[in-house]
């Protein structure tokens, strides 16, 4: 019988007790969560929280999505080896690292300078070279680099802007957490034609707001 270190036992428990029960059953995704060391993407003071079912605080008032949301999004997006991916909200670089293992290339946009530096350093330390971390306003996307096979909004928005949807290839998929408190849903949008999109919202979740995305007016007429 293999004796796991306390760290590896915590990782194992995260996968078996948080992530698998959340219908993350694809073996390749579960194996990837064991390979990409989540704790290495957190500042030292936060590493004890790496495997806890919570949004983990990051510098600049931001936070990482909970492990089960990241894992389920990764599974449901069905990222392929030839895919070009845009992520909005690099955070610590962890989600970009997961995406990079499955995609051809990843461009991740981050507004907070401190997090740009952190994400770049973390990805370099993890030996991941097919990710570009760029400081910029993700609410606008990266039209000059598009179109993209996959777009991931690593946070919640009131709605997905048309300017972001326009950067999806036909056949491309987008993930975001969409809605207003208390109802936020994991939203997957597939571009089915030049002006046609299909949307499914298969599960409810929560996620911190992404910066600079428009909020609807509080007044309705």
Q: Which fold has domain 6-204?
A: Rossmann fold (3.40.50)
The stretch 100-115 carries a mean pLDDT of 97
pLDDT, mean over the chain: 92
Closest to 13 (Cα-Cα) out of 26, 25, 4, 2: 4
Structure confidence at residue 90 as a pLDDT band (50, 70, 90)? very high
The stretch 12-26 carries a mean pLDDT of 93
State the pTM of this model: 0.94
- Using the Cα atoms of residue 7, residue 13, residue 19 and residue 20 in order, give the sign of their dihedral: positive
- On the question of pLDDT at 219 being above 60, the answer is no
Structure confidence at residue 131 as a pLDDT band (50, 70, 90)? very high
Express each pLDDT in 154-196 by its tens digit: 999 999 999 999 999 999 999 999 999 888 999 999 999 999 9
Structure confidence at residue 221 as a pLDDT band (50, 70, 90)? very low
Cα separations in angstroms, 132 against 55, 74, 88, 155, 213? 24, 19, 12, 19, 22
Structure confidence at residue 58 as a pLDDT band (50, 70, 90)? confident
* Bridge partners for 177 per DSSP: 156, 186
Distance separating alpha carbons of residues 161 and 141, to the nearest angstrom: 10
Cα separations in angstroms, 47 against 13, 50, 52, 116, 149? 16, 5, 10, 19, 32
For 81-114, the DSSP string reads TT-EEEEE--TTSHHHHHHHHHSSEEEEEES-HH
Q: Which long-range contacts (CB under 8 A, 24 or more apart) does 203-208 make?
A: 203/23, 203/72, 205/69, 205/177, 206/55, 206/156, 206/177, 207/55, 207/65, 207/69, 207/154, 207/155, 207/156, 207/177, 208/55, 208/62, 208/63, 208/155, 208/156
- The residues spanned by each domain of the chain are 6-204
Distance separating alpha carbons of residues 184 and 206, to the nearest angstrom: 6
- On the question of pLDDT at 53 being above 60, the answer is yes
Tally Cβ neighbours within 10 Å of residue 2: 4
């Amino acid at each position: 019988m293999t004796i796991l270190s306390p760290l590896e036992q915590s990782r194992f428990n995260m996968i078996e007790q948080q992530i698998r029960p959340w219908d993350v059953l694809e073996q390749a995704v579960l194996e990837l969560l064991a390979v990409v060391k989540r704790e290495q993407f957190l500042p030292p003071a936060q590493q004890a929280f790496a495997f806890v079912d919570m949004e983990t605080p990051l510098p600049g008032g931001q936070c990482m999505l909970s492990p089960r949301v990241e894992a389920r999004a990764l599974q449901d997006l069905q990222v392929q080896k030839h895919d070009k991916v845009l992520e909005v909200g690099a955070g610590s670089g962890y989600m970009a690292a997961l995406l990079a293992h499955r995609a051809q290339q990843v461009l991740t946009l981050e507004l907070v300078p401190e997090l740009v530096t952190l994400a770049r350093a973390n990805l370099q330390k993890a030996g991941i070279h097919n990710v570009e971390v760029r400081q910029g306003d993700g609410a606008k996307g990266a039209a000059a680099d598009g179109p993209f096979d996959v777009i991931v909004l690593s946070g919640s928005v009131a709605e997905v802007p048309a300017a972001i949807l326009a950067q999806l290839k036909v056949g491309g998929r987008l993930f975001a957490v969409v809605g207003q408190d208390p109802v936020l849903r994991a939203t997957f949008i597939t571009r089915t034609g030049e002006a046609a999109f299909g949307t499914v919202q298969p599960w409810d979740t929560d996620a911190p707001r992404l910066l600079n995305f428009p909020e609807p007016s509080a007044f309705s007429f």
